Amino acid sequence: MSKSFQLVLMGALIVALGVLYYLHFSSQRVVYVDSTKLVNNYQGMIEARKVFQQKSATWKANIDTLMSEVQNSIKDYEKESGSMTEKEKELSRELIRTKQKQLAEYQKAMNDKAGQEDAQMTSQVLEQVNSYIKKYGEKHDYKIILAATQYGNIAYAAEGLDITDDVLKGLNEEYAGQ
């Protein structure tokens, strides 16, 4: 074999490897979604938050009622303490302390319950979103879908790689169909 033929063959081999490399890696479709935008604009999350806010309003109303009862008991005690015996005063103070304790326990219980329900609601919504993103990725033959957050997990992405709006549209359509 001549040296020029070897160079041509080597050049053709390098070009072929380059083309194969390009074809292999160009098919590795990588896109991303803005996770904050996606979750905050997902109709399932919007409705779940409304339900949670309604429950929170009920809990707050109950706390307000108990707080009002405690305040009324204190006012009544202050008004009537002048005409009470020491034993009646002590019973009234004990009643007020009991109501204050019940109020504090109820507030703590409601705060704990709110935290648990919020975590459960968020978990359920994220399950729906992640399930949909998986189906979406498989349908569009994406090899990876990254999630951008407000903390900057994606420092740069070329124009056209953000599929958030398309995913959000499909996610909300699927939710509306349930």
Supply the pLDDT for residue 150. 77
**What predicted TM-score, i.e. pTM, was given to this entire model?**
0.69
Q: Which residues pair with 42 in a beta bridge?
A: none
pLDDT over threshold 80, residue 152: no
pLDDT 10s digits, 10-42: 655 565 555 455 545 555 678 889 998 999 999
Supply the pLDDT for residue 144. 84
pLDDT 10s digits, 49-67: 999 999 999 999 999 999 9
What mean pLDDT do residues 66-75 have? Answer: 93
Model confidence band, residue 162 (pLDDT cutoffs 50, 70, 90): confident
Supply the pLDDT for residue 151. 77
Instruction: Walk me through the domains of the chain, giving residue ranges and CATH numbers.
Output: 27-176 (3.30.910.20)
Residues in the chain: 178
What b/e sequence results for 7-40 when a residue is b if at least 16 CB atoms lie within 10 Å of its CB, and e otherwise? eeeeeeeeeeeeeeeeeeeeeeeebbbbbebbbe
Model confidence band, residue 71 (pLDDT cutoffs 50, 70, 90): very high
